[in-house]
Chain A
């Protein structure tokens, strides 16, 4: 079992009691998409465990089920079968409002691009998930300051998305995703739009978050990303196989 980190991801805020055991665990996931008379089996008994303070890079060809797995892990898609355990709860069995709350608090998402609201500055963007979660204004303010400082964007906190470089925008996107102190950070090609040098800076930031206790999953075709990971399982035909 991986040791539980002593600080929360993204800063030194009040520590939420973290239960021992995996950050998230997918057990025997099946998912079948039905469109009229055509059935597509996207997940066939997929299993994946992310420990706290770990980095897993998931690779696999298009259509192998990677996106479906991410949606199910994030509580955005109810699987046809199986379970997603977070904090001793099966995310897939929670009623929709509770599932939404559990997702917002436990799972951060960073997509390839355009993660920021174009009319808001960095601080406004980072505050969004906290405000959606109904956090008090004081808490939002202090957490936003803390997490922006953590990703090194304090001098840019009042810049809008369009005024940021690609690397800064992805750092802001990571700040936004980790602001609610999620256990798990799911990222889809987080450096897909960046040059190698800028990408390295973003990957360094993910390494810091891992060291602080976050479980990171990157879905990527990029070896520069994959080589930072502790594990590189491969998805194929709806199943996850540990490659190394």
Chain B
């Protein structure tokens, strides 16, 4: 079931960022993290965002997910402007429409893999029977059906990241926002995890915005945009993978 306040959600792009500017202070010095960035991500599309450290990639992801507010410009997710949402309504909209695979939002270490995946459904007040069924289904999809009873500590890095992917997808959001999702993994594991994220998202019509500095990871996306010094520098299309028809 989708949130009531979703105008034209079936036609709207998954994400629409319009002329975003964002400045923050580092050691008292203003940093123009984003300066006039626009980006549209269609439903089910996979877009990689690349650029050097400090180019504004992660800031963009936070703004897209409504975790921070731009100085100017706006972000629409699934047709709804973040500016129209306040407080608990904003949190609820985020839970239903945005999945995160973001550094610093690691798994709860004292909760099992299955409980970690279940948390967004608990917060959304999904009934217990339906929760168990959805958790089992998504854990099976990320090939962790037998690992649900384990703590993150008992899993490998690649398995932990697959739990994070399951947690991001279990609410069937409009978009998954992923920040260096393979940052701590070896190259082969990273490739496998990226493929799994994109395939599992595409099956559900979920768009993916993938912030990465790794061209091998970005190659899995349907389209790559590059950010330099707070501006989108280029956009290039890849023909071999990513967005569904």
Contacts and interface: CB of A to CB of B under 8 A. Distances in A.
A100 B149 contact: yes
A40 B141 CA distance: 30
Interface in A80-128: 96, 99-100, 109-120, 124, 128
Interface in B152-183: 153-154
Contact of B105 (A109, A118, A124, A177): A118
Contact of A76 (B91, B128, B154): B154
Interface stretch (B112-120, B184-192, B198-206): B112-120
Contact of B153 (A67, A128, A131, A176): A67
Interface residues of A, number: 27
Residue of B106, B108, B118, B122 ringed by the most chain A CB atoms within 10 A: B108
A5 interface: no
A115 B150 contact: no
A134 interface: yes
B122 A128 contact: yes
B151 interface: yes
A132 interface: yes
Nearest to B109: A111
A240 to B, nearest CB: 20
B151 A76 contact: yes
B110 A71 contact: no
A132 B118 contact: yes
Contacts, number: 51
Given A76-B149, A96-B149, A134-B128, A128 B110 contact: no
B104 interface: yes
Contact of B119 (A100, A109, A112, A128): A128
A76 B112 contact: yes
B106 to A, nearest CB: 6
Contact of A71 (B104, B114, B151): B151
Given A71-B151, A77-B154, A96-B149, A110 B119 contact: no
Contact of A132 (B105, B122, B151, B153): B122
B154 A114 contact: no
Given A128-B119, A132-B115, A134-B128, A115 B108 contact: yes
B110 A111 contact: yes
A96 B139 CA distance: 16
Nearest to B95: A119
A96 to B, nearest CB: 6
A100 B150 CA distance: 10
A113 B108 CA distance: 9
B112 A117 contact: no
Contacts of A132: 111, 115, 118-119, 122
A120 B195 CA distance: 30
Contacts of B151: 71, 76, 109
Interface string A147-185: 000000000000000000000000001001100000000
A131 B131 CA distance: 12
A25 to B, nearest CB: 22
Given A71-B154, A77-B154, A115 B149 contact: no
A76 B111 CA distance: 10
Contact of A114 (B109, B112, B123): B109
Contacts of B149: 76, 96, 99-100
A124 B125 CA distance: 13
Given A77-B150, A111-B153, 16 more contacts: A67-B153, A76-B149, A99-B149, A100-B114, A109-B110, A110-B110, A111-B109, A113-B109, A114-B106, A115-B109, A117-B119, A118-B104, A118-B105, A132-B122, A173-B110, A176-B110
Interface of B: 91, 104-106, 108-112, 114-115, 118-119, 122-123, 128, 149-151, 153-154
28 contacts: A76-B149, A76-B151, A76-B154, A77-B150, A77-B154, A96-B149, A99-B149, A100-B112, A100-B149, A111-B109, A112-B109, A113-B109, A114-B108, A114-B109, A115-B108, A115-B110, A116-B108, A117-B119, A118-B104, A124-B123, A128-B122, A131-B122, A132-B111, A132-B115, A132-B119, A132-B122, A173-B110, A177-B110
User: What 10 A-B pairs are tightest by C-beta distance, nearest first?
Assistant: A109-B110, A111-B109, A131-B122, A134-B128, A111-B110, A115-B110, A76-B151, A118-B105, A132-B115, A132-B122
